[in-house]
Amino acid sequence: MELIFLGTGAGVPGKERNVSALALNLQAERGTTWLFDCGEATQHQILRSPVKAGKLEKIFITHLHGDHIFGLPGLLSSRSMNGARDPLTLYGPPGIKAFIESALTLSASFLTYPLDVVEIEAGVVFADAQFTVTALPLTHGVPSFGYRIEESDKPGALDSARLAADGIPAGPWMQHLKRGESATLPDGRLIDGAEYLGPPQKGRVLAIFGDTTPTPNAAILARDADVMVHETTLEAAMAEQANRHGHSTTHQTASAARDAGAKKLIITHLSARYDREGAEKLKAECREIFPNTELAHDFDIFSL
């Protein structure tokens, strides 16, 4: 599982930071990629990254401001023109369906793959045997959501020493035992795999936020998260300006991560006023409150 940052700037594209887009690489887990937000020129960023548009399974939009959605029509159309056939599901606040339908209809675009557009509300928006995705509202000028992505727990590892001690040889039945299932050995013994498994492996948890001022829902979304990805638009001294426009500062973001018990904070969505030196100062301000803070640049990859 990897986080691939395709755009880490706020509002408008810059020379070093494009507008918001974040890919969650799930190739190892399910052979697909999920995308969170799709600002202008996201498809250009994808061309310069390991992400493959044809492998996109889901796109989650946090809110409908242009720096988070203006790349969608182009990406959807190019994916079609490149011959994609696999279904794609798009999640977003109410209004996302009208935006996509209008853009595709007025531009006479067509899709070669099934596109399902889901307008979300607070609660679970997707769940299967591997992952559960929950959305909660944030505080911004338009409806904005944060997403909590929870990986299901995995069965513990097989106790190889105990298997050997009980005279259980290697063979195709091991696949059943690894899943905690029963299997019959060639000598007729019925083995219960659950008796040979170690403690379950805790699934990973991510919290990915849209634009927001400080909100109580941050503690719910990022509770005990392995990684929290949160906007840090302005420095601590500019709190009044940041909050007036629906954004957060360094200290507000770091405090949210600390209060939620997150293990790591990755800051993104930086104002264009900050060059590389200024961005480092933002990271330093976050670390005053939450030491395990990392600063995202375009094309940075963080493994989980």
Residues identified as active-site: 67
Helix, strand, coil tally for the chain in percent (to 5): 30, 30, 40
Q: Rounded distance, CA 297 to CA 192, Å?
A: 49
Phi-psi region of 17 (alpha: psi -120 to 50; beta: other; left: phi over 0): beta
Does the annotation place 247 within a ligand binding site? no
Does the annotation place 63 within a ligand binding site? yes
Does the annotation place 176 within a ligand binding site? no
Beta-carbon count within 10 A of 199 CB: 9
Does the annotation place 211 within a ligand binding site? yes
DSSP track, 16-53? S--SSEEEEEEHHHHSEEEEEEE-TTHHHHHHTSS--G
Q: 242 with 233: CB under 8 angstroms?
A: yes
- Chain centroid to CA 273: how far? 26
**Token reading at 210:** 């849209």
Element containing residue 57 per DSSP (H, E) = strand 56-60
Q: Rounded distance, CA 304 to CA 116, Å?
A: 29
Does the annotation place 269 within a ligand binding site? yes
Beta-carbon count within 10 A of 50 CB: 13
> How far from 101 is each of 106, 108, 154, CA to CA, in Å?
8, 10, 39
- Annotated binding site: which residue ranges? 63, 65, 67-68, 140, 211, 269
- Annotated binding site for Zn(2+): which residue ranges? 63, 65, 67-68, 140, 211, 269
